[in-house]
Amino acid sequence: MRILLSFIFLSLLAYSIKAQAPKYSNEFLAIGVGARALGMSNSVIASNNDVYSSYWNPAGLLGLKTNREIAAMHSEYFAGIAKYDYGAIAFKLSDKSAGAVSLIRFGVDDIPNTSELIDGQGNINYDKVTTFSAADYAFMFSYARLTNIDGLSIGGNAKIIHRIVGDFGTSWGFGIDLAAQYKVKDWQMAVVLRDITTTFNAWSYTLDDKMKEAFSRTGNTIPKNSTEITLPKIILGVGRNFSFGENFDLLAEVNFDITTDGKRNVIIKSNTLSIDPHMGLEFGYKNMVFLRAGVGNVQQETMVEDNAKHYTFQPNIGLGVVIMDVLSIDYAFTDIGNQSIALYSNVFSLKYSFNSKKSKEKK
């Protein structure tokens, strides 16, 4: 418990540089990975115990059932315009430690560059139209280790972030996450400190005279080299398993996302901290078939019909199947009902566990 409180204290100290940081920086890292988690409205930091823990809670890597696991996910935003991809491999280092390597890409490709469409004489030349990509990359290196306290594991991520906008702008950044997971009987608790040291992105731009002229002509500000800062986020989670006979299980988990970048449109908000609660359920049959549901993204919106403020929320559902204890296929549908404000709808993800001879002997 002292470890968890120390993590939270360090995160709150970083709030002192809030004035220098923009809100919603590096938001592509807040989308989430894996259809299981998305079907549960991202409420998984206490219960996640596989390769996907490298993203949600690196301390959960200690729950790997085999020596190695790989995972992949693909989803699309804005009617397929933006692509979101994730891949990871996790591995046991010893009986008390584990590691993982992950890659995330969120990008829009084939964007038309019309800066040279019209020449100095006002002539239009479509042959001058080229294309470029705007993409965000995150490379994550994860490590987890058991502590001397029964049921407590700790972990961390080192993140390298690379963002590009064609040949015009590039950014490199670095950040660190810290996490802990504590299990006692049927209860599971966790804390994750994202960007605990703050994550810095250094932007540099290369614009020729024609590009600068196009920016000025269209009334846009010419971008300058700068540094973007992502402030810490604290995520708290608690979950419990319920068993119904030998074949049926139910997992219920609640998470609280605490942001430090000022007031956000969430249930609990102030000028310093904002708290966004969300919850998920997972109903399992023989650890082979899983039904999932979650509620999150609760916001207050002003309706056009009566100009009154109402709360809206995003309900999610999901389904998972485990084949021969090695292959997991998960699906999430995150755009249901009139209340939904999701930017994506259908998500598929895969997980494969390599059963080595040593792992089989232990079973």
Q: Please check the confidence at residue 251 and state whether its pLDDT lies above 70.
A: yes
Contact in structure between 82 and 113 (CB atoms under 8 Å): no
Q: What is the pLDDT of residues 266-278, one digit of tens each?
A: 888 888 889 999 9
Check residue 7 and give its pLDDT: 40
Tell me the residue type at 215.
F
Predicted local distance difference test score (pLDDT) of residue 2? 43
pLDDT of residue 22: 57
For 37-90, the DSSP string reads: HHHTTT--TTT--STTHHHH-GGGGGG-SSSEEEEEEEEEETTTTEEEEEEEEE
Tokens encoding 104: 């995330």
- CA dist list (Å): 57 to 49, 80, 358: 8, 29, 26
| pTM (two decimals) | 0.84
In this model, does residue 214 exceed pLDDT 60? yes
Is the pLDDT at 341 greater than 70? The verdict is no
Q: 4 versus 94: which is more confidently predicted?
A: 94
Place of tokens 């700790």: 154
User: Quick one: pLDDT band at residue 210, thresholds 50, 70, 90?
Assistant: low
User: Is pLDDT above 80 for 155?
Assistant: yes
Q: How far is CA 287 from CA 82, 248, 328, in A?
A: 34, 8, 11
User: Which tens digit of pLDDT belongs to each residue from 72-116?
Assistant: 999 887 777 888 999 999 999 999 999 999 999 999 888 887 766
**Structural domains of the chain, count:** 1
Query: Is the pLDDT confidence value at 16 over 60?
Result: no
Instruction: Compute the average pLDDT of residues 232-254.
Output: 95
H or E element that contains 287? none
Residue 316: which of 284, 291, 299 has the closest Cα? 291
Torsion angles phi and psi, residue 149, rounded to 5: -85, 125
Report the pLDDT averaged over residues 27-51: 93
Question: Residue 354 corresponds to which tokens in the numbers above?
Answer: 């390599």
Task: Identify the three-state secondary structure at position 29.
Answer: helix
HSE, side-chain direction, 13 A CA sphere, residue 106? 14
What CATH number did the domain enclosing 66 receive? Answer: 2.40.160
5 has pLDDT over 70: no
Query: Is the pLDDT at 328 greater than 80, yes or no?
Result: yes
Strand partners, 92: 98
More confident residue, 1 or 337: 337
Q: Give the ranges where 109-208 is alpha helix by DSSP (H).
A: none
pLDDT value of residue 145: 97
pLDDT at 239: 97
Cα(233)–Cα(240) distance, rounded to whole angstroms? 24
DSSP class of 124: B
Distance CA 85, CA 257 (A): 23
Task: Tell me the mean pLDDT in the region 50-55.
Answer: 96
pLDDT at 37 over 50: yes
Task: State residue 15's pLDDT score.
Answer: 39
DSSP string, 186-229: TEEEEEEEETTT-EEEEEEE---HHHHHHHHHTTPPPP--EEEE
Q: Which range of residues forms the domain containing residue 16?
A: 2-362
pLDDT over 70, % of the chain = 83
Look at 71 and 118; give whichever has higher pLDDT.
Answer: 71
The predicted pLDDT at position 8 comes to 39
Given a contact cutoff of 8 angstroms between Cβ atoms, the answer to whether 71 and 34 are in contact is yes
In 216-326 the beta strands, taken as DSSP E runs, fall at 226-230, 233-244, 248-259, 268-269, 274-285, 289-302, 309-323
Q: What is the pLDDT of residue 109?
A: 87
Q: Which pLDDT does position 9 carry in this prediction?
A: 40
